Amino acid sequence: MNLATEHTELTEKKFNEPAILNSQVSNKKAKKQHLKILPILIFIITSQLFPINCKAEENKKVIAVVMDKEIFACDIEPNATIITEKQNQLAEKQFTHWLKQYKGALLTRFIIEPLLQQYADSNDFDPNQNELDECQKALIRIDTLANNQIQILSDIRKELEYPDIDEYWKKNVEHAVKSLERQIESLNSHKSAENEIRFWKLNKELYETYGGRVTRGKLAYIPFDGHKEFLTEQQKLGKFNLADENIAKLFWDYYAEYTGPFVDTEYNGPLFAGSKPWWLKYAPEDRYEEQLNFVNSTPEELIIYLLDRWRKMRIDEMKYPFVLFISKTHDEQGQRLRNKFAEQIMNELDEFKKIHHGLHDCCLLASFLGPLGAREQIVSLIKEEKMFSCHYGPELVISLGQCGTIEDVPFLIDCIEKESDGSDAVVNKSLKLITGVEMPLRGSHTDKEAWQKWWESQRNLRMKN
């Protein structure tokens, strides 16, 4: 499990208070008296996950002191609700790993936040008026994007209201809803142009001082190793102390065990020195503004949009317009458009295969076919697959589970032979979607013999009736 998954989100903590952007840059000394800034690399834990009490004696133990402020054991403990939820979701070993990550994230937050605050106060990161104007333009575009995504979110939620939505597709829609909610929350989290500029300048300074690996926040690059080296120096200066070896291990393991993703600095060139800050790169033609194009599109326009961009955009970005298309095509005319879309996907796959001699990268198109109801096309594509060894084959099998009938069960049982170690018993999942039967696995694979016996028993029952 990656440190950036499940319970945390890589983002930057913005500065506290808004600045008055229409005025000229004020006196630096006066500004620092009223404007506190909190630039930070932090894995923000959503508010409902924070601990709600500190009753147990062991939780009142001081585990760290940063700039004379005590941090208690209870400050990094999850509450009972999230503990119960995670214990139900995860195996014991996974839960232990998750809990360590969770505590490490919060401990890092409580320590690095005031230290970066102090560092920012002691350096000149004030913006000039031109920087303020340019950054404000970018923030206005972000606000526009957030408002449009709220509309997308409303439309996508409608898809969950249809009674015929199967569980697998429902999970995909719910995932799209949650992903959009996180994006909107992140887009709305910025405070002011002045604070965004200070945050960028602070990270630029740390990167130029320490170098190292760089990761990506919501808007800006983050000098990951720069933050770590900064903390190392601050500890040597006595700015913070950890209570014992166990707490020290928890704190530093948080950095040691993080596996990325990191930005390829050689490929991307200098990320801070001499490079443009993020707000100068937020042009109308970028991929964020691109999302605005499909908000008010007709189903016909969405087909063109999806086929034109499926190779250019991230999978999660493509799910929004596709779910929107499905939500707009539930009537008879809409079904004809779904059939048309499925035919065009088949043409796209044919063209792709001629050029690339394989369909490995076409898993997104394969995932579209199920909700489109393209049963016959899916069966023909599955027959062409020798093994389900990449994402494309398993996506086809799941798609058949979404739109297939009980008559497809024998065909799927025969497909069990195509499963590989990496296909995650996908035929079992597809058969469950069609039959509603929860069949135990044989190791990590679908149990072909068990399904054959089940199918034979069902045939006998139908013959008797």
Q: 370 with 276, same domain?
A: no
Question: The dihedral of CA 204, 206, 208, 212: what is its sign?
Answer: negative
What secondary structure letter does DSSP report for 418?
A: G
pLDDT in tens, 382-437: 999 999 877 899 999 999 999 999 999 999 999 999 998 877 899 999 999 999 99
Give SS3 for 388. strand
* pLDDT > 70? residue 327: yes
Residue 57 has pLDDT above 70, yes or no: no
Given a cut of 90, whether residue 179 has pLDDT beyond it is: no
373 shares its domain with 264: no
Residue 316 reports pLDDT greater than 80: no
- Which pLDDT belongs to residue 45? 32
Give the total number of structural domains in the chain: 2
Q: What percent of the chain has pLDDT over 90?
A: 36
Domain boundary among 281, 306, 326: 281
Q: How many residues does the chain have?
A: 465
pLDDT tops 70 at residue 13: no
Better-predicted residue by pLDDT, 431 or 41: 431
Looking at the fold, whether 51 and 147 belong to one and the same domain comes out as yes
Report d(CA 44, CA 40) in Å as an integer. 10
d(CA 396, CA 401): 9
Share above pLDDT 70 across residues of the chain, in percent, rounded to a whole number: 79
Same domain, 172 and 83: yes
In a shared domain, residues 122 and 268:
yes
Q: Lowest mean pLDDT: which of 31-40, 106-115, 208-217, 361-370?
A: 31-40
Name the pLDDT band for 20 (thresholds 50, 70, 90): very low
Between 46-50, 275-279, 321-325, the lowest mean confidence (pLDDT) is in 46-50
Last-in-domain residue among 224, 254, 281: 281
How buried is residue 322: exposed, middle or buried, by Cβ count under 10 Å (0-12/13-18/19+)? Answer: buried
Would 269 be classed as within a structural domain? yes
Predicted confidence band at 241 (pLDDT cuts at 50, 70, 90)?
Answer: very high
Reported as a pLDDT band with limits 50, 70 and 90, residue 274 is: low
Q: Is there a domain that residue 343 lies in?
A: no
Q: State which amino acid sits at residue 95.
A: F
Residues 268 and 369 in one domain: no
Span of 39-48, 304-313, 367-376 with lowest mean pLDDT: 39-48
Say yes or no: 272 and 395 in one domain: no
- Whether 295 has a pLDDT exceeding 50, the answer reads yes
Domain boundary at 252, 281, 310, which?
281
Angle between helices 375-384 and 332-356 (to 10 degrees): 20
pLDDT at 167 over 60: yes
- Do residues 359 and 247 both lie within one domain? no
- Domain hosting 380: range is 353-464
DSSP character at residue 43:
E
pLDDT band, residue 371 (cuts 50/70/90):
very high
* pLDDT above 60 (res 160): yes
- Domain assignment present for residue 173? The answer is yes
Tell me which amino acid residue 86 is.
K
Same domain, 399 and 268: no
308 within some domain: no
The pLDDT assigned to 111 comes to: 95
Confidence of residue 189 (pLDDT cuts 50, 70, 90): low
pTM, whole model, 2 decimals?
0.56
* Residue 288, pLDDT score: 52
Instruction: Indicate whether 300 belongs to any domain.
Output: no
pLDDT confidence bin for 341, thresholds 50/70/90: very high
Tell me, yes or no, whether 45 and 192 share the same domain: yes
| Angstrom distance (rounded) from CA 451 to CA 457 | 10
Q: Domain for residue 328, yes or no?
A: no
**330: in domain:** no
Q: Taking all residues of the chain, what is their mean pLDDT, rounded to a whole number? A: 79
Q: What is the pLDDT of residue 271?
A: 59
Note whether residue 71 is domain-resident: yes
